[in-house]
Chain A
Amino acid sequence: MPTQITELMLMNAASAVATPDVPTADYARWISRRIHALTLLILLVALIGFSLFAMQAFEARLAPEIGRKSATIGRILTAQIERAVGYGIPFAQLTGMDPFLSSVFQDNPEVAYLLITDATGTILYAAGPGAVEGQAALVSSGAVMPLPEEATSTRSVGAFYDTALIMKRGDNRIGALHIGVRQSFVRGQLAEIVYDVLTVLVVALLVAFEMVAVLVALRVARPLARAERLLERLRRGDFRYDGNGSKSDEVGRFTTALATVTRRVNERYWRLVQEAEEIKAGQIDPSIVARIEAVMSRLKTRFHFLALGALPINLREPSLAAVRGPLFLFVLAEELSRSFMPLYIRQLYTANPMIIPGLSEDTMIGLPMALFMLCIAVTTPFAGCWTDRWGTRRLFIVALLPGLAGAIGTALAGSVLDLLLFRSLSAISYAMATIACQGYIAQTAPAGGRARAMAIFVGSIMLAAICGTAIGGVLADRIGYRATFLIAAGLIPLAAALLLVLLDDPPVQWVKPDPDKGSQSGWRAFQALLGNPRFVALMLGSAIPAKMILTGFLFFLTPLYLRHLGYDTATSGRVMMSYFVLMILLGPLAARWADHSDRHRSFVILGGLLSGTGVLGVLYWNDLWAVLAGVTALGLGQALLTAPTLALIPEICERECQRFGQATVLSALRVIERIGSVAGPLLAAWVLGRFGYAGSAAGSGVIVITGSVLLGLGLLALGDGRRAVPGRGLP
């Protein structure tokens, strides 16, 4: 869930602010980067090649295909006209031609015109939205006269594919029926297919990429790192370690060979100790004994050996990558429904209306989405405790149960009421799984690499959001909502299985980053923070509205709006995906930029203004592009403000951070901003019922803009929070 994601990005940014990334010359990373680059290159070439090939293949088959379809439609018409003329009705005096021809356009929206000419090329009857344009094109290109030789022929005329069918009475050619299909319509259909194919390919590429990353990390980077650490220890003269490498690859064999060397060195050492003791025992000269003892003790201090008979310590290298694959799949399962969730809820509501007085249809659609957010918010703190108690592995496997029940239940739901239950289960499962993985990363990551580890974690979730949103829309279009949920249900056990294979809980004890963080201190921190006007201004002016527009406009409104405008779920998937793409591309950039310029406030306010203003476009252009612009602006805006918001916390809450710890303050922020996540869909639904789609979208924008303006004015009025702290000057 991207609320989760942004939050993680916040954490990421925060730790990035706290601990600068230590550059390490790392051969394993170098290799994996090369492999990534190569994979990307190969996949891109394949992708582009395939797309070009597909386009050409489609184009080549297009005209004849259009001709065949037009001819099929046309033959039904000509047969009836020929029958009428056969009855003796004069060709030029056929009656009721308008309703007769118009029936075609209802069932075949691709047909732009139907024109009927007599044998001299005079147009007798014309119908269709493109009739005037088609007539002009046919006449100017001379396509109406003479009559084509073949009974059926298709050619490109002006902006149309024109198919002409000859009509006869007996053996006499009496005229022709021309059926026009707009070429742009055909291209549009073609583009639709190509978009879908491209979406599938890009997602396949990203998934492959993710899998390659995991594989490289586990099969190459981890053994290399282990071997490197082993060598490093050997170099320092520490012979107590051993790495259990696999026997099937070079690095593994190398590690095993090193282990053998270590074992031999230890054996030799103990033999030496024994021999030294024996020699020592045989000496009379105390100076020689002293020398032997000195040599032995120097040996002991310079090098480290195993105790006699002790087994070497297995050098473990817990890998972050182990959790990446399972997490990716788990989040992918949830994100598959991103592009059509409100549409599915509406379908259930329409099929089985659950009338609750005072709640409109729109509100009923928003309700399961709001409940989902609420359940995540409530479960997250518990999930943190559970991770501490049970460990990542167990919690992730436990999360499988509600996750599976939630997804299958959602697929089979009969009413909105069912959905409320099953979506809650999904939310609980989601919170458990993501927090479990987050906990693992916190435990595993080396102290200096925490920010990078979190970046990997966030990247994985973002990637899953991109893939899930895009491919979920295509899937829903092709196989339906319920089947897509079943696919999601299938991904969840797959994620758990992958986790079982890849992950063994790290032996390191999980140390809480903030040991004195108790519910007591958390509550006091809350009270203290709510007494801090700058913090309250930041929450009310930015954090809550930002979440509100995210869940209200993007998650709730966008799928409904695009459906209202006549677009399919594949399109809404691609539009919504652009938000995640921008977040993943610009989020880290914006964080670095904001840190560099030290203008976190400006970034927060600018981000809010940008995401709010972009949405307002729908008021003027009520179309796909306006919605896309809104989503893009939202992505840009959120990318700008997410990390700086977190960076702002230690600035404006310096006293609270000192008292309660930065982590406690940040979790308070997360709890508070979730008010926005929950309220978003409900508020958007309420406004939707009163002011329509554009009104609701614009409303969320106005809230965000107002919040940003008030935040700006508030921070100006309150002055710089840093001055409030005694004993600290301006930077």
Chain B
Amino acid sequence: MNMALFHPLRWSWLTTALFTLMIGVMAATLALPTSAEPPMKTYRILMVLWRGEEDAVQGFRDYFATQRIPVSIMVRDAAGDLAKLPGLLKEAKAIRPDLVVTWGTSVTLALLGPYDAADPNPYLPAAGIPGIFMIVSQPVESRIVPALASSGRNITGTAYLVPEETQLRAARSYFDFDKIGIVYNDKEDNARLSVEALRALAPTLGYTLIERPLPLDRKGNPRADLIEPLVAEIAAAGAQLLYQPPDSFLNVNRDRLTQAALARGLPTLAAGENPVRNSYALMGIINRYYTVGQLTAYKARQILVEGLNPKEIPIEAPKRFSFMINLPVALQLGRYPPMNLLKFAEIIEGDTDIRRP
């Protein structure tokens, strides 16, 4: 090794060069983050709702707020009117948002179209606007997507119903049953599908199913006045549990159904949140709308921020469901929730007097 090279006096130019380089690098590192980072883009999201803002929309908004992702959310509401949907489709095309979020089956079908539409051109995916749907009970059966794994086109979405098997298995952690009664509106797809699922599960889970479809009146509408007699029949047949399927008609008549059951000491397991939260169903194993909204927002983020292709994002439900228990009903039935269930269940407390049938 040539020691002369390392003589202190010969270092001067080398040291200077190194020093300059070091300071340069340090300055550059300090300067870079401020100058190189582009201002974050504000994403434009259009939400088209069916019956106004509720928890799912709130969950969606909150997700972006907590994640500090700048979004501008425009909201349009169909207010339950199918006639308004073509106008909303037109408006969406005019706005050309970065992403459209649709709420419910009707809005989704109107804006995003079925996957096997003869002419896909009128719908948003064909116009190059990606879409995400939420609160759609049966995305496959409604022909929005061919399979939950992938939509095969420029959309994705979230599921929100908890599978019947999960519901029943969870319900058994409350109390055991081997006879389930069900009253339903045969005219509704969701209800029919749910009954089919319960029938299929009966041998595996070991119960018998007492089915009572609601008879129709002359106009072809289900008869609400027969709800109480049918529940009475079910109770008399020895059912230990009444199942309220995801059925719009029964959701409207939830008080009649659940009160009739409660009056006969029959606990109700509801597929939806409403009968437990705002009526007399004992329990519901559900995905909370708020959680669904957050999951939808997460998928929106994957599309907008991470640049994923929507067809690569599977349609999923939240991983953890909520076990809701209507406490006043539980007390009235004398069905006290087991301690371990109480640990994680969502307890709906309320004024017992108002709820007393």
Q: Is B a genuine binding partner of A?
A: yes
User: Contact residues of A with B, CB < 8 Å?
Assistant: 80-81, 83-84, 87-90, 93-97, 99-100, 103
When distances are taken between beta carbons in the complex, the residues of chain B under 8 Å from A93 are 336
When distances are taken between beta carbons in the complex, the residues of chain A under 8 Å from B340 are 96, 99-100, 103
Are A80's CB and B342's CB within 8 A?
A: yes
Distance of A103 Cα from B342 Cα, bound (Å):
14
* Chain B 330-354 interface 0/1 with A at a Cβ cutoff of 8 Å (1 = within): 0100001111111100010100000
Q: B348 to chain A: closest CB distance in Å?
A: 11
Q: A127 to chain B: closest CB distance in Å?
A: 12
| Given A80-B343, A87-B349, CB of A96 within 8 Å of CB of B327 | no
Distance of A89 Cα from B341 Cα, bound (Å):
14
| Given A87-B347, A87-B349, CB of A97 within 8 Å of CB of B339 | yes
Q: A43 to chain B: closest CB distance in Å?
A: 54
Distance of A99 Cα from B327 Cα, bound (Å):
21
Q: Which of A87, A90, A93, A99 has the most CB of B within 10 A?
A: A87
Query: Which residue of B is nearest A100, CB measured?
Result: B339
Distance of A95 Cα from B341 Cα, bound (Å):
10
Distance of A700 Cα from B340 Cα, bound (Å):
51
Interface size for B (C-beta < 8 A) is 12
Distance of A81 Cα from B337 Cα, bound (Å):
12
Query: Which residue of B is nearest A103, CB measured?
Result: B340
* Chain B 170-184 interface 0/1 with A at a Cβ cutoff of 8 Å (1 = within): 000000000000000
When distances are taken between beta carbons in the complex, the residues of chain B under 8 Å from A87 are 327, 331, 342, 347, 349
Distance of A83 Cα from B325 Cα, bound (Å):
14
Dominant SS among interface residues on chain B:
helix
Please name 17 pairs of A and B residues whose Cβ atoms are closer than 8 Å in the assembled complex, sorted by A.
A80-B339, A80-B342, A81-B339, A83-B342, A87-B331, A87-B349, A88-B327, A89-B336, A93-B336, A94-B336, A94-B339, A96-B337, A96-B338, A96-B340, A96-B341, A99-B340, A100-B340
When distances are taken between beta carbons in the complex, the residues of chain B under 8 Å from A99 are 338-340
Query: Which residue of A is nearest B327, CB measured?
Result: A87
Q: A155 to chain B: closest CB distance in Å?
A: 27
Distance of A97 Cα from B338 Cα, bound (Å):
7
Distance of A84 Cα from B331 Cα, bound (Å):
11
* Chain B 128-150 interface 0/1 with A at a Cβ cutoff of 8 Å (1 = within): 00000000000000000000000
Query: Which residue of B is nearest A89, CB measured?
Result: B336
Distance of A463 Cα from B211 Cα, bound (Å):
83
Distance of A27 Cα from B305 Cα, bound (Å):
88
Query: Which residue of A is nearest B341, CB measured?
Result: A96
When distances are taken between beta carbons in the complex, the residues of chain B under 8 Å from A89 are 331, 336-337
* Chain B 61-104 interface 0/1 with A at a Cβ cutoff of 8 Å (1 = within): 00000000000000000000000000000000000000000000
When distances are taken between beta carbons in the complex, the residues of chain A under 8 Å from B327 are 87-88
Are B343's CB and A95's CB within 8 A?
A: no
Q: B295 to chain A: closest CB distance in Å?
A: 29
Are A88's CB and B343's CB within 8 A?
A: no
Contacts A89-B331, A95-B339 supplied; 11 other A-B pairs, CB < 8 Å: A80-B339, A80-B342, A81-B339, A84-B339, A89-B336, A89-B337, A90-B336, A95-B337, A96-B340, A97-B339, A100-B339
Are B331's CB and A100's CB within 8 A?
A: no
Q: B92 to chain A: closest CB distance in Å?
A: 47
When distances are taken between beta carbons in the complex, the residues of chain A under 8 Å from B338 are 95-96, 99-100
Distance of A195 Cα from B341 Cα, bound (Å):
44
Q: Which of B327, B340, B341 has the most CB of A within 10 A?
A: B340
When distances are taken between beta carbons in the complex, the residues of chain B under 8 Å from A80 are 339, 342-343
When distances are taken between beta carbons in the complex, the residues of chain A under 8 Å from B341 are 96
When distances are taken between beta carbons in the complex, the residues of chain A under 8 Å from B339 are 80-81, 84, 94-97, 99-100
Q: B286 to chain A: closest CB distance in Å?
A: 20
Query: Which residue of B is nearest A96, CB measured?
Result: B338
- 3 shortest interchain CB distances as A-B pairs: A96-B338, A100-B339, A89-B336
Q: B341 to chain A: closest CB distance in Å?
A: 7
Q: B176 to chain A: closest CB distance in Å?
A: 12
Q: A627 to chain B: closest CB distance in Å?
A: 41
Distance of A26 Cα from B104 Cα, bound (Å):
104
Query: Which residue of A is nearest B331, CB measured?
Result: A88
Distance of A88 Cα from B339 Cα, bound (Å):
13
Q: Which of B336, B339, B340, B347 has the most CB of A within 10 A?
A: B339
When distances are taken between beta carbons in the complex, the residues of chain A under 8 Å from B343 are 80
When distances are taken between beta carbons in the complex, the residues of chain A under 8 Å from B347 are 87
When distances are taken between beta carbons in the complex, the residues of chain B under 8 Å from A81 are 339
Q: A169 to chain B: closest CB distance in Å?
A: 15
Distance of A88 Cα from B336 Cα, bound (Å):
9
